[in-house]
Amino acid sequence: MKLYGYWRSLAAFRVRIALNLKGIPFEVESMDLVKGDQFSDAYRKVNPQMVVPALVDGDTVLTQSMAILEYLEDVHPEPALLPADAAGRARVRSICLISVADIHPLLVPRIRKYITQDMGHSEEELTAWIHNWMTTGLAAIEEKLAGDAETGAYCHGDSLTLADLCLVPQVGAAAMFGVDTDAYPTCKRIFGACMQVPEIFDARPQAQPDFPEEMK
């Protein structure tokens, strides 16, 4: 498979973890979102929405990270990243969607650009926006996980699920943006446990070939 991604994209990070865990070989085409590679004519033909990630599997072009994760679960069911029971699947998906729908879309490049360029806000005000939604979202995830008997070593029991694949990039991004993650001890504990898993550790932004030299 071929993944159009970017080291910094939280959504591409989710997909890299799934591909690694399921042992699916893939090549990466890096789309520098800062330079605007996603707006090239070539990429527009792949994904007219001009965002990453996109995953190409033969003739099938897949977009939207959550839809890609579900597809990989469909076509490569082992190891399973969704629980066997409907209520468990709903719990896992709802944890995913707090990141996928309620936090991440507020932080992506097009939003940051609108806030600074169209609305005329300073970098400081942009940071306040980013922190506000990261902390609100992580608090919601923490409240869902903490003290719930279904939370185990990972978000749902003691096996990795899609919930962990969505939590890890979100916690990693919070740390990168200077958010104090000590306020979310369950999220932080699960992030730490996940980072012990080689397939997750190797998918981290810092390990990607397009991670900038000057940030190493």
Residues that bind a copy of itself (CB under 8 A): 48-49, 51, 60, 62-64, 66-68, 70-71, 74-75, 86-87, 89-91, 93-94, 96-98, 100-102, 104-106, 110-111, 114, 118-119, 121, 125, 128-129, 132, 136, 140, 143-144
CA-nearest of 173, 167, 172 to 190 is: 167
β partners of residue 136: none
Integer CA distances (angstroms), 76 to 59, 70, 81, in order: 17, 10, 10
What is d(CA 141, CA 125) in angstroms, rounded to the nearest whole number?
24
Please report how close the Cβ of residue 215 comes to a copy of itself at its closest, in angstroms: 27
Which is closer to a copy of itself, CB of 98 or CB of 193? 98
Whether omega before 79 lies within 30 degrees of 0, making that bond cis, reads: yes
Which is closer to a copy of itself, CB of 147 or CB of 209? 147
Which is closer to a copy of itself, CB of 117 or CB of 196? 117
Contacts of 32 by beta carbon, 8 Å cutoff, 6+ apart: 6, 210
Pairing label, strands 54-57, 2-5: antiparallel
Please report how close the Cβ of residue 92 comes to a copy of itself at its closest, in angstroms: 8
For 20, counting Cβ atoms within 10 Å of its Cβ (0-12 exposed, 13-18 middle, 19+ buried), the class is middle
Which is closer to a copy of itself, CB of 110 or CB of 215? 110
Please report how close the Cβ of residue 44 comes to a copy of itself at its closest, in angstroms: 9
What is d(CA 124, CA 165) in angstroms, rounded to the nearest whole number?
30
Which is closer to a copy of itself, CB of 132 or CB of 206? 132
What is d(CA 200, CA 82) in angstroms, rounded to the nearest whole number?
17
Please report how close the Cβ of residue 95 comes to a copy of itself at its closest, in angstroms: 8
Please report how close the Cβ of residue 30 comes to a copy of itself at its closest, in angstroms: 22
Please report how close the Cβ of residue 111 comes to a copy of itself at its closest, in angstroms: 7
Which is closer to a copy of itself, CB of 102 or CB of 210? 102
